[in-house]
A and B are shown apart, each in its own frame.
Chain A
């Protein structure tokens, strides 16, 4: 399944780049992220809790950054396995940053996610919606964090950008 999201952050592109490539700022913004560990400069390990109705599970995910062109482009792969239960998740993602003037950045990402095993056979349509809502929650949390920090450092706090990640027409 394909997941894509675009959102605006009221902070300069270099700052957004620094935040989005630092697991210490990204991990707390990922809904369900229980813990993370830095393995090398380009690879991390994280435990992420996913719930769909009564089904609750943890995925142990390894993220590898495969290509970086600061401050505009980042490619990564992720591979995760459920503890004990047989489901595997793989994802290939691309992240793009675009400067929108000196204090504003547009973040967009696209992921191709594959889920096989017990969860892949169940409610894939609902899973896709779930993934989209996780993406939206991440966008809100990440934007809030970066903008709060930008404001406290006397950045471009007055600039409020409307995010276009709200579900159209919903």
Chain B
């Protein structure tokens, strides 16, 4: 196996384009573990750690925040740049694994691996984020919702590198929350939910919801969001949204919970996220 350590994105993209079956190496938290378990044997590793310009968080004048692909989870958890409707992304980062993992894993690595139980995918779909992808020929942007396509599957093609993730400022006065239920602290989610809400005199005027750990990709249901909009977020409206979301899910059965169990706790996790986001939206508006 060959090992490359390019210092520019251009070099990295060139190596990826020329090597058959090469993989990017970001934090290595997942990739190296899979190689050790004999699950992957790439012909070459292209380390992104020395590539200039891939790490860091920038907030633009319009309020959107761009997170470089090589930004570690801890840096996102600690940033003051994400607030209002973007705050749940920071909250999700803070709930990933434990300190060692948060100092090692990167946002680019997490979304490229696309584990259905990971935290970033659900938070980024909720926050309506955009993923910037580059290969040796072109650069493109894709909505987080369309980026995740299946179990460990994404819109990435051979030769592509995730360069950054951008989170729009979103609706003014919005509050957001990410709620995760895991068997033990630091584990992947059994079920998770992201919520962005905006209120006007106690009435919900904007809602965006995604749930994680309940299907191959984060699940959004327009009708569930519509149950909240116009409501005062009373228990019955939130429960109705939970029912619609559960109906659209198809969770796996594994040691983190049976399919039935995940569907059963989903409405409760959603309700927790809604109540947190609501308090935050009320404080903002």
Please give the residue numbers on chain A whose beta carbons come within 8 Å of chain B beta carbons, in ascending order. 52-55, 85-86, 118-119, 121-126, 128-130, 167, 169-170
Contact = CB atoms under 8 A, between A and B. Distances in A.
Chain A interface mostly helix, strand, loop or mixed? Answer: loop
Given A53-B151, A53-B152, A53-B153, A128 B252 contact: yes
**Nearest 6 A/B pairs, CB to CB:** A53-B152, A125-B254, A125-B252, A126-B151, A118-B38, A170-B250
Nearest to A121: B37
Nearest to B258: A125
B151 A52 contact: yes
B40 A54 contact: yes
A129 B151 contact: yes
Given A53-B114, A86-B38, A121-B37, A128 B253 contact: yes
A56 B256 CA distance: 25
A8 B40 CA distance: 39
Interface in B3-27: 23
Interface residues on B, range: 20 to 34
Interface of B: 23, 34, 37-40, 113-114, 116, 150-153, 216, 247-248, 250, 252-254, 256
A121 B34 CA distance: 11
Nearest to A55: B39
5 contacts: A53-B153, A86-B38, A125-B254, A126-B151, A169-B248
B116 A55 contact: no
A86 B34 CA distance: 14
A126 B152 contact: yes
Contacts of A125: 252-254, 256
**Chain A CB within 10 A, most for which of B38, B39, B40, B152:** B39
B44 to A, nearest CB: 14
A169 B116 CA distance: 19
A165 to B, nearest CB: 14
Contacts of A121: 37
A124 B254 contact: yes
Most buried by B among A53, A86, A123, A167: A53
A59 B232 CA distance: 55
Contacts of A126: 116, 151-152, 252
B123 to A, nearest CB: 20
A59 B40 CA distance: 16
B252 A122 contact: no
Nearest to A130: B151
Contacts of B250: 129, 167, 169-170
Contacts of B247: 169
Question: Which of A54, A85, A121, A169 counts the most chain B CB atoms within 10 A?
Answer: A54
B216 A170 contact: no
Given A53-B114, A126-B252, A118 B40 contact: no
A160 to B, nearest CB: 26
B253 A85 contact: no
A129 B152 CA distance: 12
Contacts of A53: 113-114, 150-153
B68 to A, nearest CB: 23
